[in-house]
Amino acid sequence: MKTVRLPDGTDVPALGQGTWMMAEDPQRRGDEIAALRAGIDLGMTLIDTAEMYADGESERLVGEAVAGRRDDVFLVSKAYPQNASRSGLPRACEASLERLSTDRLDLYLLHWRGRVPLAETVEAMGRLVDAGKILRWGVSNFDTDDMEELVATGGKACATDQILYNLTRRGPEHDLLPWLAARRIPVMAYSPIEQGRLVADDGLCSLASELGVTPAQVALAWLLARDGVIAIPKAGTVEHVRENLAAADLALSPKVTARLDAMSPPPSCPVPLAML
């Protein structure tokens, strides 16, 4: 498994597991837990969740999936922006830790920017690190100007920026990705298959058929080939997990990459960061 290095020198798998929209249907719970456990077995040990997902039930599902294997997992969760204050963030973190049945998070993210001053959130994150509740912190859905302000307000310890980034959402390539790369801050790409919509793209389907793989595998392989990018697709079944993992071994030739660029061109000017 390819790895990506965080600013503090920690290596994490470039292909992790997302959990957005998990734990919303009790009938799928068994399959979702089995999928997460299979992913861990296969080396996809980074698991991303959030207090927002299914109103905390996603965290509970993840906690059950990693029970007895906590030390094998790099656990990521995210806090609502309204909970990112000096007093609110510790409470939100404790609630997440309780739902996850763990004593610490490997990475804790501000889910998106809200009204709480960034300097206050940075201070609160630092205190959680000092208390051992989280090992490192980062942000999500921050554009270049947000990152510049974050660093200017004392946020140089930011470990990652989790953003919407995939074949059809290439806006970050113009300025955000170079800005982050210059500071050795990796990207976590959420919705790498555009919530499944990419698998219905005619051009991508045709190309995938020629290669003898699935459209999702092409889209994931395209992301995984990029330096400093961690992809976190969701998979609700063991079969889907194995399909995602196979993308890690798929090498796209320059010719194929050129065809993908023709289908979804890189940006020629700044594009506001998109969110889902």
Catalytic residues: 53
d(CA 155, CA 245): 34
d(CA 42, CA 246): 10
Residue that is written with structure tokens 């992790």 in the block: 16
Q: Indicate the residue type of 178.
A: P
d(CA 254, CA 256): 5
Largest Cα span, the chain: 55
Concatenated DSSP letters of 247-261: GGG-PPPHHHHHHHH
Burial class (CB in 10 A: 0-12, 13-18, 19+), 182: exposed
* Full strand arrangement of the beta sheet holding 229-231: 17-18, 46-48, 74-79, 107-110, 137-140, 161-164, 187-190, 229-231
